Every structure is written in structure tokens, then in C-alpha cells.
Amino acid sequence: MNKKIKDIIINIRESYKNNLYLLSEKLLSDIVKEDLKYYKLYVLFAYLMQLENDEDKLKISIEYFSKAIKSNKYYLLAYCYRYKTCKKLLEIYKSKNNEYTKELELLMKLDIEYLKNVSNNFIIKKHIKNFIKNPLSYYDKEKLILKTSSQIKNYIKYFNREKAKYDYIDIMENYNFFINKNNDDYKAYNLRGFLKYNLKIYDEALEDFNKSISINSIQAESYYNRAKLYYTLKNYEEALKGFRKAQKIFVRNQFDSPLDIIKCDHYIAWCNYNLERSEKIFLDIEVDDDINDFSEGYYNSGKLKFNKKNYEEALKIFSKVDKNNKNYTKVKYYKNVCEHKINNNININLIINTLRLSDIYKYENDFHVAGNLCNEALEYIEYLKEKNDFWYFYLKGIAVYELYDISFLDYKLKEEALYYLNKAKDNIEKESKYYQRIEEIIMGIIEYGI
């Protein structure tokens, strides 16, 4: 990026930060006509242009969102805002039916198809919030941002908590730079693949893992990450092969941590669980007291028992998990749920703990588990005796909202969530924290929904 563009970006950042949107728009208009590689300038310019429902500005906005997509096909928000802008323009043209309206409808269809494959309401909302905070995040590509898969996983949590300094595409371009510089950089292929896996770009993630393995077939992590991809796609047989291959390499390599071997054990057990090979499940879970973080073994063993509805055994195992374990927050909620299930005590506390557990998984982008827990909570809610009071409406509204949040364009869930949340509002004082929470959720649905 040349010095002139860098200087303008600094000025744009300052004007945007101080809510001087017209000045930001003017500064951007001076440079966006150039053929820029920095697509975020196109996106910010297009975003500012669509803030007003001005027909001409909306047309320009669509043009620049399209330029951004052409410049970087992965930037989710360009598709999201182009869709919203086309929708605004169609409202203006609703009485017309010409070639331009058909073009708008085609763009909207393309945007929806892309977004449906790689996102949900929660992901879109987090991208919007991070973009509004820092629309021109930029990183020097020549310095590696995230060097391990664990760092990428932690980054995802920070991003979802709106605490990340860079967005996903900054990191992907960072890996692209190192791969273009050295086409045999198997670590960069593996990391880029892991990032794409987390972005649900599964075909390209698989290509990167395969490339990494073809360059270096004796490093375990690419096998492990590829197996996780197969596991996510429910191809459990291929996943099982991959985890066993990774495990063998981890065992041979004296520099790898024993925890690497254990994490393969855990996934092998989960594969057997999903393949309904019950007799093999617990043979693949080892808990070695000589390993500093042996509680990770207890955690995974407990989850397997929990999923098999053996709550007494699950509770005993969860009780062995150390408080310093990274999953201890989840364990607290799992233990609480186990205690309620053992005592057959379905009450408000059980539902709240189930929904809190679901929320943790959502922020880790584990939407499958989050959804299962929400559906369980909905089952428990129907056991409540009072079906016309605040807690029934509130808990049902939250559970349905969480399902809506991890879905995409499910208007039925949206209307159902709004119905129960509004009913809950009618049954609580305005000063209550729950009233404020409901208001925040409703505003979020309106502001960030597509």
C-alpha cells in the first residue's frame, strides 16, 4: 500500500471514529475510483453511501460492494450489505418491473446463496459489530499474526466477543502472503486450511490440508485438522482414519505433547460414538494422572457419558476436572444439569444452566451442540407447570431466539422469538434487568437481521 493511500486511511479512520461520516465519504470518494487492492475502502465507502435512502447513492453503493467482492470474494459483509442495499432500492422501485430490478433480484439471490453456506445470524451480527468498530483494520502481511491452530481458536472467541483487532480476512491474506512467498510452506497451508475450516469454506480447507500433507507427510497436525473437517461433515469413517494417523505420528514424535495424543483419543471415541460402536467408545479415552492437564481426559470422558445419558457416571467424572482446565466453565454447567437429571428435577434452574451452556458453545462457533442444547431446553420448558407467567415466556423466548441466532433467514423462528419475548416484557417491570435484556435482544434482531 502506497504512502498516499496510507495517509488518507489515517484521516478516514479519525473522521469515522468521530462520527464525521460525510467527511469520511468525501475522503473515500477521492480514492475509490482508483483500482485499489485494499477492498475494505470499497466496503466502507459503499456502507456510508447506503446510510441514506437516496436512489443514486444506493446504486453507487451496490456498485462498490460488487467491486469489493470482485477484489476479495471471501469478505462476508460485502455480500450482506449488498443484499440489504438491493432490498432498499427494490423498495423504491417496487412498482416497477424492468431489467434493473431483475438485476437487483439476481444479486440478492447470489448474496443469499453465499451467506447461507458460510454464515448464520450470529456470525453476520458479529462481523457487523466488529466492522462498525474498526472498518479499516489493516495488518502488515509480512509478519505472521497467528502461528498455531490454538491461537486461531482463541482469536475466534475474541472476535465473537468483539475484542479482536483484525478480522478473518486480514488473517487469511496474511497466510496468502507467506504461501505466495514460499509455495512449500506446509505450516501456512495447514493454518490457512484451519482458518477456512472455521469460516465454513470446507472445500478449500480440504485442499489446503491435502497440500500441507503432500508437502510434509510426517507432521501430525494437518492429519488431525483434516480429520476434524471430516468429522464436522459427518464423514466419521474418514475422520477415524485421520485421527488414528495423527495419533501414530504424535506417539512417534518425542517433541509433541502427550495432550496431542489424548485429543486424538477423544475424537476417536467421538467417531465411534457417532458410528454407534458403543463397545469401543471408552476404550479410546485415556486419563493419565502423570500429565499436567489430565483433567482434559476427564472432561471428554464426562461428555461421552453425558451424551449417553449416564448422568451419575458423568457427574463423578466431571467432578475430577481441575478448576484450571480451559473447559471448567462448561463443566460447572454440565454438573448442574447432571444433578437435576439424576434427581429428575426439571425446573427453571436446569433450563437456565442448559441455555448458558448453549451460549458458551455458540461463542466457540460450535453451533451444532448449541442447537441441540437449545432444543433440550425447549423440551424442559414444556414441563413447567405455569405456562402463562414471565419465566415461561422469557425462557421460551430466549431458547427460540438462540435457535434463530444460529440459523439463517428463518423468519418463523424470528417471529416466534419476538412473540414470546414481547409476552415476557408484558409480565415484568421496566426496571428489571430481564426487561432490559429483552429490549437489547429485540433491538439486535431489528438492527442486525437481514
pLDDT tens-digit map of 407-450: 998 999 999 999 999 999 999 999 999 999 999 999 999 888 77
Domain boundary among 184, 217, 250: 217
Task: Name the CA radius of gyration of the chain, rounded.
Answer: 24
In a domain, 340, yes or no: no
Residues 117 and 43 in one domain: yes
**CA angle 285–286–288, rounded 5-degree value:** 155
What would the grid cell of residue 46 be? 459503499
How many Cα atoms within 13 Å fall on the side-chain side of residue 188? 20
**For range 309-321, the mean pLDDT:** 92
Looking at the 3D structure of the chain, how many domains does it have? 4
Residues 35 and 95 in one domain: yes
Residues 356 and 390 in one domain: yes
Residues 195 and 253 in one domain: no
**The pLDDT of residue 285:** 57
Domain boundary among 133, 167, 201: 133
**The pLDDT of residue 282:** 59
What would the grid cell of residue 38 be? 485494499
Residues 110 and 185 in one domain: no
**The pLDDT of residue 295:** 74
**The pLDDT of residue 287:** 52
- Tell which wins on pLDDT, 14 or 351: 351
In a domain, 79, yes or no: yes
Please say if the pLDDT value at position 209 is more than 70.
yes
d(C-alpha 202, C-alpha 223), whole Å? 15
Residues 72 and 152 in one domain: no
What would the grid cell of residue 356 be? 448458558
**The pLDDT of residue 286:** 52
What would the grid cell of residue 142 be? 509480512
- Residue 292: which pLDDT band, with cuts at 50, 70 and 90? very low
**Burial class of residue 307, CB neighbours in 10 A (0-12, 13-18, 19+):** middle
Q: Concatenated DSSP letters for 402-419?
A: HHHHTSSS-HHHHHHHHH
Residues 98 and 149 in one domain: no
**The pLDDT of residue 294:** 63
Strand spans (E) along 276-428: none
In a domain, 317, yes or no: no
Residues 119 and 177 in one domain: no
- Residue 256: which pLDDT band, with cuts at 50, 70 and 90? low
**Summary mean pLDDT of the chain:** 89
pLDDT digits (tens, 9 = 90+) for 379-416: 999 999 899 999 999 999 999 999 999 999 899 999 99
- Residue 2: which pLDDT band, with cuts at 50, 70 and 90? low
**The pLDDT of residue 291:** 46
d(C-alpha 126, C-alpha 13), whole Å? 20
Residues 13 and 128 in one domain: yes
Share of the chain above pLDDT 70, in %: 92
In a domain, 305, yes or no: no
**The pLDDT of residue 113:** 96
Please say if the pLDDT value at position 293 is more than 70.
no
Please say if the pLDDT value at position 290 is more than 60.
no
> What CATH number is attached to the domain comprising 155?
1.25.40.10
pLDDT digits (tens, 9 = 90+) for 21-56: 777 888 888 777 776 677 888 999 999 999 988 999
d(C-alpha 299, C-alpha 329), whole Å? 11
d(C-alpha 340, C-alpha 346), whole Å? 7
**The pLDDT of residue 254:** 65
In terms of residue numbers, what domain contains 189?
A: 145-217
**For range 228-250, the mean pLDDT:** 95
Please say if the pLDDT value at position 191 is more than 80.
yes
pLDDT digits (tens, 9 = 90+) for 57-100: 999 999 999 999 999 999 999 999 999 999 999 998 876 667 88
pLDDT digits (tens, 9 = 90+) for 120-137: 999 999 999 998 888 887
Residues 364 and 419 in one domain: yes
d(C-alpha 14, C-alpha 103), whole Å? 36
Q: What is the largest CA-CA distance in the chain?
A: 73
Do 34 and 60 form a contact (C-beta atoms < 8 A)? no
Please say if the pLDDT value at position 3 is more than 70.
no
In a domain, 121, yes or no: yes
Residue 125, CA distances (Å) to 130, 131, 160 in order? 9, 10, 9
How much is the pTM?
0.88
